[in-house]
Amino acid sequence: MAPKALTDNDAVPESDRFEDAPHPRAASDFIGHEEAEAELLRACAAGQLPHAILIGGPSGVGKATLAWRLARFLLVNREPAAAAAKAQDLATEQDHPAARQALSLAHPDLFVLRREWNEKTKKLATEIRVEDVRRAIHMFHQAAGGQGYRVAIVDSAEDLNASGANALLKLIEEPPPRCVFIIIAHRPGRVLATIRSRCRKLMLKPLQENEVARIVATLGPPWSQAPKPQLQDAIARTRGSLHGTLRLLSGRGLELDGKLRRMLGELPKVDWRATHALAEEVAPRDNADDYDALLAAVYDWLEARVRNGAGDSLVRPGALAPYAEVWEKVTEAAQQTEALNLDKRPFVLALFADLAAAARAASA
């Protein structure tokens, strides 16, 4: 995953990048998921690389880094089968012109679908629009500039709006020759079923704790300078997610995470005084990091409820449905709050009311 970086001087915020950490496209090394990389290399060598690949797994485990690693390999090597037959992995020369173009997002045969920065509003879009997909469709029906592969990276599939998802489906249903679509999904189950059925699925598991520590050491200051006890605490809390670890190492991340864990752990009981105080904390615009941390903690809590319940044979049928329903409700409300620039305080209060109701329903 995201390791030693090339130069990356982007000034515009990117939806597929964690704050000030190097972007996954700048990674020159790959830590963890060796078998997943080997599977892609074997497919290349056999000339059987699928035209659509869905890389799934929890946020921050290396999906985007693997996607960019494969994309660079295809852009650098016009005949990837021959190159893969002689290669040990998907690494490419950092100074290769195609690799440099990919790093600067200037390669003519590369298209990235992600939530874009709006210069007028100074905010990231809340979704990938159908217009963005149509631009990709136009590019993919042109001849490849280097007579090699054309590559599209979608990061992430959950960000596609309904029209955008359907437009992407039409494109991968009848793909032009020598095109590869690499689709990243943090929750593959929420991706349009017809898209999933047309992709080869590559599921990445959480990283090992020692792998996360190795990656953090490659990121440079301030991440690599975190005190060892603090780093170990952050890694242990985030179950193999680099993004989660970096979030806890930022600002008062560990302190806020502890508070959120206590509040979520007490559900369905809600301390409304603490909830009102939390809403006041995360509502200001200049406190976006704390608001993001709140959402991340809530999604982690919901995911843990579903994962633990699914593995427990004693859990009654239907007990997990309230968590799935509130997950959808929270996601929709969060997107609406962000898109319409609404006051976050009512959202936070409604959030805890909905989570408490789900917890009660699940235990009834």
Please report, in tens digits, the pLDDT of each residue of the chain (364 residues total): 444 444 444 468 898 988 778 899 998 889 999 999 999 999 999 999 999 999 999 889 999 999 999 999 999 999 999 999 999 999 999 999 999 999 999 999 999 999 998 888 888 888 999 999 998 888 777 765 556 899 999 999 999 999 999 999 999 998 888 899 999 999 898 899 999 999 999 999 999 999 999 999 988 888 889 999 999 999 998 888 999 999 899 888 899 999 999 999 999 999 999 999 999 999 998 888 899 889 989 988 998 888 776 655 555 657 788 998 999 899 889 988 988 889 999 999 999 999 999 999 988 7
The single-letter DSSP state of residue 224 is G
3-state SS record for 104-160: CCCCCCEEEECCCEECCCCEECCCECHHHHHHHHHHHCCCCCCCCCEEEEEECHHHE
The pTM assigned to this predicted structure is 0.87
Q: Pairing relation of β-strands 117-118 and 123-124? A: antiparallel
Place of tokens 């109701």: 357
Here the tokens at position 206 are 């959480």
Q: Which among 223, 208, 171, 207 has a CA at the least distance from the CA of 58?
A: 207
Task: State both tokens at 218.
Answer: 């490659």
- The answer to whether the CB of 275 falls within 8 A of the CB of 348 is yes
CA 111 to chain centre: 17
Q: Which residues contact 215 (CB under 8 A, 6 or more apart)?
A: 1, 2, 3, 31, 32, 207, 242
Joined tokens for residue 3: 């390791």
Strand (E) positions, 149-289? 150-155, 179-185, 200-203
